[in-house]
Amino acid sequence: MTRIRITKSLPSLLKGIDALLIIAPKARFDDGSFLDALPEPIMRLALDLASDLDPGLTGLAAGTLTGEEPRKLAIGVLPDEVSRHNSPSRAEAIRRVVAQSNTGRSGSAAILLFLDDPDHFAAAACGVARALPLFQLTRKSGPGSSAPVESKQGPKLGIMAIGPDEAPITPPKWLSSVIDYSREAGRLVDTPPTDLNPKAFQDEAAKLLRGVNGLTRKAFVGDALLRAGLGGIHAVGRAAVEEPRMLVFTYKPTTKAKGSKHIALVGKGVTYDTGGLSLKISGAMVGMKMDMGGAAAVLGAFCALVKGGAPCTVSAVICLAENAIGPASFKNDDVIWMHSGKSVEINNTDAEGRLLLADGVSYAARKLNADIVIDIATLTGAQGVATGIMHGALVADDAQIEATIIEAGRKSGDLVHPLPYAPEFYRAEFKSQIADMRNSVANRANAQSSCAAEFVHWHMDDTDARWAHVDMAYPAMRGGRATGYGVALLAQAVRDLA
């Protein structure tokens, strides 16, 4: 697995490397002056490679052998302009050219970024990190040795950025933490589900937060969920081998700005989703190890904040369950009592993630007294129809919070796009004859993603907390690999909302 470091000096970046990737917009390669600091042969090769390269809308890479050090040279040419719903950092184009160039996957390598704005460094570096996932299984060499083992060693990659004044850009102090924990979140999502059940996730969280001071920790496991009123989480996970649980971490910085808020992040952690008794069929179950992507994003963002400098009190509420099948499975037609005190009639056991989130946001608002609650989840297939594979779907009950999170997406490269917030249009979809609500909509053509979000919000709407929801069902994975989506977004949103 590739180890990434940020450096501020070109000599340090280039020292002892086997491969160099230079990334810049097309116009900057046409100008070429930013390459003056490189050895002349490398500069000329880079300009020659760029002369015939058209980046199109999404960027393009090309490479060659140099005959000297570094032995390999590649360039990534980015489009000069992006649309208004993209990140101005071109983070996704950067991810694509890093992947195309194969840089950082072996040996010692370096990436030199030329950026239009110093504020783009964080998103650009996260774009690089997304191209280099941590998790990999390989076979041991030798006869009779076929057990897979996770790789422990890997290549090294240095990243440096220069700005429009051709001076090195100083990275924000929290950038390394965001990069590291975005990749850790991706590692968790990529891990096979039998290896990452609810207990294993809890163990991973303990490891990642080891040694953090000023942290309070709680865990509600198994029947303790019922005693705490968390009936939704318990119902979803009670048939699995490993008991369902909710983890609660709260961090209070030693110094914080006067009037700063308490922000709670709530993550859906369905470590595997069979659909329950509403069984997923025809291959729809494949890939459902990613249904804990929201929980991984919350854990990663929380780690990045507490280790990179949290500006306010921040909590992580991680709701974990495996939606398994067995004699104890919750059933369609069951009625479940939630933490909010509301009752839910089950009409689809495959609409389980919202039950976890509803308990989580209620707990965050009622027990933690958070000022702002942000939940994130791989919640609906309809999200991909609504906002696609690059933008998470955002629903919020507050216009300023909505605008802040949209901008946090542009800053971080974890893009979001708003969907309607209109409880009066959506609650009727959950009408039940015997309970406060059902858990799945009557009309699947009526803004499913907004409806699912409203189900969650309904369980905290009588509190004073403000709320936002991110559905990341499609951004969570790309090409069969986890992206670490949500870590950079949530960390940026907390810093901006604090």
Question: Which CATH number do you get for residue 79?
Answer: 3.40.50.10590
Together in a domain, 155 and 268 = no
Q: 226, 279 in Cβ contact below 8 A?
A: no
CA distance linking residue 208 with residue 181, whole number of Å: 9
Together in a domain, 141 and 211 = no
Going by their DSSP bridges, the two strands 137-139 and 148-150 should be labelled as antiparallel
Together in a domain, 352 and 464 = yes
Q: 498, 311 in Cβ contact below 8 A?
A: yes
Return the closest-CA partner of residue 133 out of 91, 175, 105, 161: 105
Q: 413, 488 in Cβ contact below 8 A?
A: yes
Q: What is the largest CA-CA distance in the chain?
A: 77
Chain segment 125-159, per-residue pLDDT in tens: 999 999 999 998 876 434 443 344 444 567 899 99
Together in a domain, 307 and 408 = yes
Q: Kindly state the tokens that stand for 473.
A: 């069902």
Identify the CATH number of the domain in which residue 190 sits.
3.40.630.10
Give the pLDDT score at 138. 73
**What is the pTM assigned to this prediction?**
0.95
CA distance linking residue 492 with residue 474, whole number of Å: 20
Q: Which of 171, 204, 227 is the last residue of a domain?
A: 171
Q: What is the pLDDT along the chain (498 residues), one digit of tens a residue?
A: 789 999 989 999 999 999 999 999 999 999 998 899 899 999 999 999 999 899 999 999 999 999 999 999 999 999 999 999 999 999 999 999 999 999 999 999 999 999 999 999 999 999 999 999 999 887 643 444 334 444 456 789 999 999 999 999 999 999 999 999 999 999 999 999 999 999 999 999 999 999 998 899 999 999 999 999 999 999 999 999 999 999 999 999 987 777 789 999 999 999 999 999 999 998 999 999 999 999 999 999 999 999 999 999 999 999 999 999 999 999 999 999 999 999 999 999 999 999 999 999 999 999 999 999 999 999 999 999 999 999 999 999 999 999 999 999 999 999 999 999 999 999 999 999 999 999 999 999 999 999 999 999 999 999 999 999 999 999 999 999 999 999 999 999 999 999
Q: Is 137 helix (H, G, I), strand (E, B) or coil?
A: strand
Together in a domain, 331 and 387 = yes
Return the closest-CA partner of residue 180 out of 290, 299, 61: 299
Q: Which of 171, 190, 213 is the last residue of a domain?
A: 171
CA distance linking residue 35 with residue 460, whole number of Å: 55
Together in a domain, 419 and 327 = yes
CB count in 10 Å sphere of residue 364: 29
The total number of structural domains that make up the chain: 2
Together in a domain, 467 and 322 = yes
Together in a domain, 489 and 473 = yes
Together in a domain, 78 and 191 = no
Give the pLDDT score at 139. 66
* Structural domain boundaries, residue 57: 3-171
Give the pLDDT score at 151. 47
Catalytic center residues: 280, 354
Q: Which of 143, 171, 199 is the last residue of a domain?
A: 171
Together in a domain, 163 and 274 = no
Q: Which residue in this structure is represented by tokens 């993630």?
A: 353
Together in a domain, 284 and 397 = yes
Q: Considering the chain, what percentage of its residues have pLDDT values greater than 90? A: 91
Q: Is 289 helix (H, G, I), strand (E, B) or coil?
A: helix
Backbone angles phi, psi at 41, to 5 degrees: -60, -40
CA dist list (Å): 187 to 130, 318, 476: 11, 17, 12
Together in a domain, 76 and 208 = no
DSSP strands (E only) in 118-187: 137-139, 148-150, 156-162
CA distance linking residue 73 with residue 84, whole number of Å: 32
Q: Report the Cα 91 to chain-centroid distance in Å.
A: 14
Count of positions (residues) in the chain? 498
Going by their DSSP bridges, the two strands 437-438 and 108-114 should be labelled as unpaired
CB count in 10 Å sphere of residue 458: 23
